[in-house]
Structure 1
Amino acid sequence: MPVTERQLAAFADTHLWRVPFDTSPRHMAGPGDDRRVTHVLAAAGWTPVSDPLGSEIVLSSPDHRHSLQFEPRSSTSAWWRLRAQPTDTEPGWYAEFGELVPAEVLAAVAEALVLPQPSEPQDPLTAARDAGWDIDTRGVADSPDRACRIERLREADSTTAWYVRAHDPYRGPQGLRLWHAMFGARAPEHLVQAFVTALADPAPVQRGMHERTAHPGVTQEPSPLSPQQVVDAHTQRIRALRTRAHAARRRPGPRTGPAPVSSPSPLGVSRR
């Protein structure tokens, strides 16, 4: 089900009434509008498979291999859960993201998932290094303000998992956790690359006046963008992505459907 003009109009109705403020750093910017994520997937042909009257959203990819669950009333610290079922040639994997992860960063992961993979993916920490983050010999990256950390975790079976943590900048890495993100072992590394690249980008994101941020120490300045420009940027991005995703689906490729499993585990969630 593609994003409809009515849904884009609803996004516009929200943001045309908000005075935008340039907000940085991104790891402190707060969640933003979750439709920046769900519109990306809907534009790529993902469909809702959850209760339309529920408080949660579950979207499924056209091949039914991938699913995204958004559970804003979750009793855990993970509000977003991204899953991939195993196929005949690829393993299953899992990623989760906390409540205050910026929607712009999650949207970058969603785009990387639905568009063709880069032919030469980079080390995910390259973008952090280029943005001035400190990287030690263990492969741990700290943001310039020491309020966000990215860790590469080596698993016993030689696979790699990734853990990202934003915390109170006044208390250091051992202080109060503001949000987390986790890419489990075997999660595609180009998705991690997309997440880190968007997170470490020094360009500000826009938040409305009085909109929730992750920490009061965030920097906010009146944006040179008008509300209409903020809306237009989102609309143009979604329409362009819809065209690219449609073209990618029409290209022949390997089988990507999920492999048969003996006892599938249902998501057991409903839709907002």
Structure 2
Amino acid sequence: MKKNQNQRQGWGPGEQAEQHYLIQPRSLAGGGDVRHVSEFLRASGWRDKSKKGGPLTMESPDRTVRVSYDPYTLPGGWAIRGAATGHTEQWWAHLGQQTPVEIVAGLTDALTRPPSAHAPTAWAPLEEQSWRARFEGEHYTATSPDGSAWMQYRQSPGGEALWWTGAKDEHGNGWTAQFSSGTPIHLVQAFSAELASPEPVMRPRGRVPLSTRIRTWSVSVLPSQLGAWQQARITSARAATWARNSARSTRPRTAPRSHTPVGGARSRR
């Protein structure tokens, strides 16, 4: 009888709910599952260039961008490098191991999409969530309402500039990230939008940071539900990739027009 009840509720055979926690703010939720980033890139046509036993390495279809995650060395974390193209200079980004994957994905998901036609600004998503912005000497800094996260555009006396961002709890635990000044601004904006998002993120039991600065809600989740959510993200990436590729293949090509000289001979039949 109990088995039939479970089946009516949509549970798989022998499936049991697992305890997870929704965490706010997301910036202090901890790293999370790196597959949230890598599987989306793979579904978007990126190549897995990882070596056995080595760090994760993904390469864009046009081979101009590489995303890697190295948990084996210190300080480790995420490294993203973009080659110089006709539109952008060479750029890089380094993100610490404890950067939440949902925030990392703000940047890496944006790598799979063409930039918006609207002029991007990295500060707009922060302003929308009431972050406090101010000048600090040569630096411009925005801080989250609770003071745990920040984003700063730094300029050194030598004229070098970079983006510096991160989050810390009351124990000093957290993460930092840096982007070169040449990082395409729409990527920085996509990152800042996820950084400032008020939406909580989910972590399994045992992976919740010990901090008084976070708020948590316990939820029971079926493994099949987790799988369905992950698959929906992958499916959306595949659909978007298919749509872009189809648009390219059906785009009319402009062929050079042939001109027949005035008075030229007619073609023979």
Q: Which residue of 2 aligns with 1:79?
A: 77
Q: Which sections of structure 2, spanning at least 5 residues, go unmatched?
A: 1-15, 250-269
RMSD (Å), alpha carbons: 2.5
Structure 2 vs 1, CA of residues 61 and 184 (structure 1 numbering), >3 Å: closer, same or farther?
A: same
* Counterpart-to-counterpart distance in 1, 2:97 and 2:143: 21
Give the 5 Å matches for 1:1-272: 18-51=18-51, 53-76=52-75, 78-138=76-136, 139-154=140-155, 161-169=162-170, 176=172, 178-213=174-209, 215=211, 217-223=213-219, 227-252=223-248
Q: Which sections of structure 1, spanning at least 5 residues, go unmatched?
A: 1-15, 171-175, 254-272
Q: Which has the larger radius of gyration?
A: 2
Between 178-187 and 150-159, the greater mean CA deviation after superposition = 150-159
Structure 2 vs 1, CA of residues 144 and 63 (structure 1 numbering), >3 Å: closer, same or farther?
A: same
* Counterpart-to-counterpart distance in 2, 1:177 and 1:29: 11
Between 181-190 and 244-253, the greater mean CA deviation after superposition = 244-253
* Counterpart-to-counterpart distance in 2, 1:154 and 1:251: 41
**Amino acid across the alignment from 1:123:** T
After superposition, give the CA deviation of every residue in 1:68-121 in whole Å (9 maximum; x if it has no partner).
Answer: 111011222x41100011124431110010011001111121111101211114
Q: Which residue of 1 aligns with 2:259?
A: none
Structure 2 vs 1, CA of residues 54 and 212 (structure 1 numbering), >3 Å: closer, same or farther?
A: farther
The SS at the match of 1:124 is: coil
| CA drift at 1:122 | 3.2
Tell me the number of residue pairs that the alignment of Structure 1 and Structure 2 aligns: 231
The answer to whether the 8 A contact 1:20-1:227 is kept is no
| CA drift at 1:185 | 1.6
| CA drift at 1:156 | 7.4
* Counterpart-to-counterpart distance in 1, 2:128 and 2:73: 35
| CA drift at 1:161 | 2.4
The answer to whether the 8 A contact 2:149-2:165 is kept is yes
After superposition, give the CA deviation of every residue in 1:117-164 in whole Å (9 maximum; x if it has no partner).
Answer: 111143211111111211114531111221111101246797852110
Larger RCO, structure (CA 8 Å, separation 6 or more): 1
Q: Between the two proteins, what is the percent identity of the paired residues?
A: 26
Q: TM-score of the superposition, structure 1-length normalised?
A: 0.76
**Amino acid across the alignment from 2:219:** S
* Counterpart-to-counterpart distance in 1, 2:120 and 2:95: 22
The answer to whether the 8 A contact 1:116-1:248 is kept is no
| CA drift at 1:57 | 1.0
* Counterpart-to-counterpart distance in 2, 1:99 and 1:216: 21
**Amino acid across the alignment from 1:178:** G
**Amino acid across the alignment from 2:65:** H
The answer to whether the 8 A contact 1:145-1:169 is kept is no
**Amino acid across the alignment from 1:210:** G
* Counterpart-to-counterpart distance in 2, 1:50 and 1:241: 21
Structure 2 vs 1, CA of residues 17 and 37 (structure 1 numbering), >3 Å: closer, same or farther?
A: farther
The answer to whether the 8 A contact 2:164-2:178 is kept is yes
* Counterpart-to-counterpart distance in 2, 1:56 and 1:18: 29
The SS at the match of 2:111 is: helix
The answer to whether the 8 A contact 1:206-1:223 is kept is no
The SS at the match of 1:108 is: helix
Structure 2 vs 1, CA of residues 135 and 230 (structure 1 numbering), >3 Å: closer, same or farther?
A: farther
The answer to whether the 8 A contact 1:25-1:204 is kept is yes
* Counterpart-to-counterpart distance in 2, 1:159 and 1:243: 40
The answer to whether the 8 A contact 1:24-1:202 is kept is yes
Q: TM-score of the superposition, structure 2-length normalised?
A: 0.77
